[in-house]
Structure 1
């Protein structure tokens, strides 16, 4: 295991700057996830750490060692890609042990390490199968096993679950979470799926146009977003944002221009008795929850979450009351002022 530190790292492709001076410290054994919209630079930043992309400026430290100019095979890192990249003619046993065979390790040592990785990943009964005989989730576990046997200083995951269906994604999220608990290794993980980020990460790094918008625990980002971008990127359904002038009641801090409120922090009232009035447009029933989507004049479209079935129907005119303690206020630059 090892810590990883980025010091003012930049990446340029010709005259285009895609990583714009990122500073980040990842502690030994920490699980950090990079999230952000397509094109924000999250995969590029991961590839720079791996050594697959050259760092244009700045430093990358692995432990106390400056690894900025080291080739990938000298960094001691293991990378798991979106595609499994397994050898179809090899068994699971041979696929997992291939890096060790290439390194010239003795057969007995290779066998011991392969068996240990197979036990951790519950692949014991699949060792003699070939990739075509495995499910997508099992193939991804084989790819992870190939990384485990190298005993890396850190694991790098580049959207490893994006090729799986919804049920397998849930299963593999569990597997990866258990793997981190078992190995206690430093892990850096890239995803566009905020559910993966919220459920797996010790800390999340939200990237916006090559810069860090905010770093924090999932709870910190959800409850105390530093700006409008993070407020609306983290959370599903996303935070409702409206002009402060469209909301009646409540205090407005100096400099506040926009008010944000999450769907679960809104309650239904009689028209005129809350902070905003609106007309129910659509009900999205999900079983335990229902999302109520309303048109609210100057406040725009607002989504609220209620438990179970909603006590209203499309076309109803209702009032919405916002929790006083759960409001978020942003200035004209989109920065949080409360």
Structure 2
């Protein structure tokens, strides 16, 4: 059964359309992540699902019922924002149980639900503390706990970790993944962080200028992007894309060499940094000059000047004897190459 279904959903601000006919189905218990560049509409779409933005056209279904015109409080959803928005004069327990208290729930029920949420989030020893006594990660867990006690149909997360430092983001990413496994509730998560998207999602929705560019598992998007936009947006470093020509099933690149087995109509060749082999100059598919060596411990990125091919990035394991200024050859792994037509659509 679907937890949330969007049918031809649009959002207009006067004459300006920002969400352009979104069709999407989020299954019960599924973790779906919205990603895309700034201004693509991912937070707007989330707020439309939550009822904080009006749906101009289209239909929203929640747990099988039409919720297009329902008030936010009627939708059975719970939102967690970038801002914790905790009441500073209330304890952790009071913050978590506030929505139940205002709804008139009995104290015993509130205590039970707050206690259960605190156990899930490892907040049992902090229930009497005030928000000022907590770290950023602990405050975010309280904000999540406030959502859990409502037992919603689905959780909506709007960049909840962006205010945290790098170490806390890693910790909270783990906490959210474990939370999803325990609660088995649908979750929709907005982020600009590709690591969060790739590690948390069952499926990723890539948005581009208010439209869905592709929906799929992290592996599908990474290995089989539907178009040039997704190919260069998903992955860090991004996919290397260079101009190519195809004639009679053979591809070639300017200033380099070529090979057979290419789809007709391809004008761009794409290859991920880890699918390139470094060889001596004069060997492989092209020669490049090494500009920058970025040592990251387990991996090293070689940023190369490919002349007419543009800047190319190669991922190698650990350290390398190559230094800036060196000229080397690159060979592309044949089974991992992507080809795109003049409209940016994937041919293979």
TM class by smaller structure: over 0.9
Q: What is the DSSP-based 3-state SS (H/G/I as helix, E as strand, rest coil) of the residue aligned with 2:264? A: coil
Match of 2:316 in 1: 306
Instruction: Give the 4+ runs in structure 1 shifted more than 3 A.
Output: none
Q: 1:2 Cα shift? A: 5.7
Aligned length: 338
Residue 266 of structure 2 is aligned to residue 256 of structure 1:
yes
How does 1:96-135 map onto structure 2 within 5 Å?
96-135=96-135
How does 1:159-238 map onto structure 2 within 5 Å?
159-238=159-238
Q: Is the 8 A contact 1:280 1:316 kept in 2?
A: yes
Q: What is the DSSP-based 3-state SS (H/G/I as helix, E as strand, rest coil) of the residue aligned with 2:259? A: coil
Aligned partners of 2:199 and 2:236: how far apart in 1? 13
Q: Is the 8 A contact 1:2 1:186 kept in 2?
A: no
Q: 1:311 Cα shift? A: 3.0
Q: 1:3 Cα shift? A: 1.2
How does 1:1-338 map onto structure 2 within 5 Å?
3-244=3-244, 245-246=253-254, 247-251=256-260, 252-338=262-348
TM-score by length of 1: 0.99
Superposition RMSD in Å: 0.9
State the Cα deviation string for residues 44-97 of structure 1 (Å, max 9, x = none): 000000011000000000021000000100000000010000000000010001
Q: What is the DSSP-based 3-state SS (H/G/I as helix, E as strand, rest coil) of the residue aligned with 1:84? A: coil
Aligned partners of 1:28 and 1:177: how far apart in 2? 16
Aligned partners of 1:280 and 1:187: how far apart in 2? 44
State the Cα deviation string for residues 158-191 of structure 1 (Å, max 9, x = none): 0000000000000000000000000000000000
Residues 272, 217 of structure 1: alpha-carbon distance in 2 compared, 3 angstrom cutoff: same
Aligned partners of 1:274 and 1:106: how far apart in 2? 72
Aligned partners of 2:345 and 2:281: how far apart in 1? 31
Aligned partners of 1:261 and 1:150: how far apart in 2? 46
Aligned partners of 1:38 and 1:293: how far apart in 2? 26
State the Cα deviation string for residues 294-316 of structure 1 (Å, max 9, x = none): 10111111000000112311111
State the Cα deviation string for residues 199-234 of structure 1 (Å, max 9, x = none): 000000000000000000000000000001000100
Q: 1:250 Cα shift? A: 2.2
Q: Is the 8 A contact 1:292 1:310 kept in 2?
A: no
